[in-house]
Structure 1
């Protein structure tokens, strides 16, 4: 089965970080694009409770993704990941709903994607801040690229955006269910609210 090996970092200066990527001759593989993600689960949240993820994503294409067995290895998040492209986002959504799954969270982001030394480097604009995600074939390769980009490894976040969202809601007493730009309009979020520091 396919493995996802990744780590995220909170950015204080995403523009400066992007310039560093260009300076290091990173290859732009996907221009900035809006991304819509639907997280599915059963009514009793059995997938979430057992550490499984079922996601339908739409950007320039549509993909369905299944993840499980999330654990830490050498400071990075490692999960089994199965993903395939689907022809029609709305039809796939209806199929999942017909099977008894329902959307429990919608989350949005803008993403720009590069590759550097075999590692996929994304710059993600989330409703609650700017992040970079490094995903690669091994923790050591990811570590080397992070070092090359001047990221402080000890500030890495081996977690998902949804987990961060849930932690943020708990800390700030937020009640929204969707991680959308509209839901966060007018809400100021600081690194302290995440319990993390910027890494750049």
Structure 2
């Protein structure tokens, strides 16, 4: 298994038609299952003035198979991928961690959730992500130049990559479809249909069809 211990996150996302087909290709490529399908619940924090958002940074408390606090700094584009500083560590008590963050002056601004399956492939982390608004593959590596090869191994069209965050994608959809909610939850999207094509996002796995 590989998962980088570097504090720099270099990643790229792809909107996909079929996660099961991608998973089949991962297995054929020799990928190792790191974490089976797991529900993630995330709280995003900021100051009352929104200083983290203004700095293009973020503070998150996540609960999945464990609980983690994550800080991510401003992002840059590196080799067609999204690169940013990431500091993350595990905490033993989600509720206590939330109280600590709030005691430091931060407030929960919104919630987002997803289901994630994690694989390791050739020194990279590949996740199969079920977001409330669509399915995605995320590839993370310590070196940007290795990402196109991993995408090719999965028959993903590199030209259709998304060097952005799930939150930024949601904000595009929120504006385009005039969504009234801020939390990215499955409950909020239960009776909402959004066509990502209208936002310019295309499936990168059409070769699998």
TM-score normalised by length of structure 2: 0.93
Distance in 2 (CA, whole Å) between partners of 1:185 and 1:173 is 16
Match of 1:124 in 2: 129
The answer as to 2:87 corresponding to 1:85 is no
Q: CA RMSD in A?
A: 0.9
Distance in 1 (CA, whole Å) between partners of 2:19 and 2:153 is 16
Aligned partner (choices 35, 39, 42) of residue 37 of structure 1 = 42
The answer as to 2:147 corresponding to 1:146 is no
Distance in 1 (CA, whole Å) between partners of 2:198 and 2:62 is 27
Distance in 2 (CA, whole Å) between partners of 1:44 and 1:190 is 33
Structure 2: which 5+ residue stretches go unaligned? 1-5
Distance in 1 (CA, whole Å) between partners of 2:179 and 2:194 is 12
Distance in 2 (CA, whole Å) between partners of 1:168 and 1:191 is 8
Secondary structure of the equivalent of 2:34?
A: strand
Match of 1:110 in 2: 115
**Contact (CA 8 Å) 1:43, 1:102: kept in 2 or not?**
yes
Distance in 2 (CA, whole Å) between partners of 1:69 and 1:163 is 13
> Alpha-carbon deviation of 1:22?
1.2
The list of structure 1 runs, each at least 4 consecutive aligned residues, that deviate by more than 2 angstroms after superposition, is none
**Contact (CA 8 Å) 1:172, 1:193: kept in 2 or not?**
no
Query: Deviations for 1:93-123, whole angstroms, at most 9, x for unmatched residues?
Result: 0111111111111000000000111110000
Distance in 2 (CA, whole Å) between partners of 1:51 and 1:179 is 19
The answer as to 2:180 corresponding to 1:158 is no
Distance in 2 (CA, whole Å) between partners of 1:111 and 1:144 is 22
Structure 1: which 5+ residue stretches go unaligned? none
> Alpha-carbon deviation of 1:186?
1.3
Query: Deviations for 1:13-39, whole angstroms, at most 9, x for unmatched residues?
Result: 111111111111110010000000110
Match of 2:24 in 1: 19
Aligned length: 200
> Alpha-carbon deviation of 1:143?
1.3
> Alpha-carbon deviation of 1:190?
1.9
User: More displaced, 87-96 or 185-194?
Assistant: 185-194
Secondary structure of the equivalent of 2:59?
A: strand
Aligned partner (choices 51, 56, 68) of residue 46 of structure 1 = 51
